[in-house]
């Protein structure tokens, strides 16, 4: 139960970060609070969208699904079931791979770091660590 709670909390934080970046991308927020980072450079680059959809929107959807699965898995009838654990491990592994791809673009193509993207990467890594170790332990 603790693992699913931790995943839900982390995914909610990730959801907020992705929502913030998406709101910027679609013009609701005029400026990213980024300190000395290169958030706007990264977000406005051609890698800021994938198949015509802002990358941040994939994050919004992905984190929302993880939050939903984690909360569903916390319902009394689902606590003993294994499917939420498996689903969270698969979702977070996919999210981590996507995060690694985006971080690689930042480091090796754009040579710029967006602090919010780093924050999201840390959150996704945390989710994946908790979810995957949970799935392995329950085997």
Partner 1 sequence: MRRFYLLLVLVAVVAGVLMWRASRSTGGDVSAAAAAAPALVTAADSAFQGYVLGSATAPVEVVEYADFQCPHCGEFANVQFPTIKEQLINTGRLRWRFREYPLPIFEWSRVAALAGQCAGEQGKFWEMEEALFQQQSDWGRSRKNPSAAFRDLARGVGVEVNKYDACMDSQRYAGRIEASYREGAARGVTGTPTFFVNGRELDNTRFGNSDAFKNLVDSLTGTGRH
Residue ranges that bind partner 1, judged by CB under 8 A: 5, 8-9, 12-13, 16, 19-20, 23, 27-33, 40-41, 44, 74
Shortest reach from residue 47's CB to partner 1, in Å:
15
By beta-carbon proximity to partner 1, the closer residue of 31 and 111 is: 31
Alpha carbon of 8 to those of 29, 101, 128: distances in Å?
A: 26, 23, 12
Cβ pair 85, 138 in contact under 8 A: yes
21/37 Cα distance (integer angstroms): 14
By beta-carbon proximity to partner 1, the closer residue of 65 and 74 is: 74
By beta-carbon proximity to partner 1, the closer residue of 93 and 112 is: 112
Shortest reach from residue 97's CB to partner 1, in Å:
25
Residue whose tokens read 């991308």: 25
Shortest reach from residue 14's CB to partner 1, in Å:
11
Cβ pair 110, 45 in contact under 8 A: yes
Shortest reach from residue 29's CB to partner 1, in Å:
5
By beta-carbon proximity to partner 1, the closer residue of 1 and 139 is: 1
Cross-strand partners of 54? 49
Radius of gyration of the chain (CA): 16
């Amino acid at each position: 139960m603790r693992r699913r709670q931790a995943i839900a909390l982390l995914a909610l934080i990730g959801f907020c970060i992705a929502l913030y970046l998406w709101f910027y991308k679609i013009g609701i927020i005029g400026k990213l609070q980024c300190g000395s980072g290169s958030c706007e450079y990264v977000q406005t680059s051609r890698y800021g969208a994938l198949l015509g959809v802002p990358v941040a929107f994939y994050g919004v959807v992905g984190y929302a699904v993880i939050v939903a699965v984690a909360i569903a898995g916390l319902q009394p009838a689902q606590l003993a079931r294994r499917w939420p654990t498996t689903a969270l491990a698969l979702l977070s592994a996919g999210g981590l791979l996507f995060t690694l791809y985006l971080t690689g673009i930042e480091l090796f193509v754009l040579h710029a770091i967006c602090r919010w993207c780093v924050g999201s990467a840390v959150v996704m890594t945390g989710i994946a660590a908790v979810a995957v170790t949970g799935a392995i332990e329950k085997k």
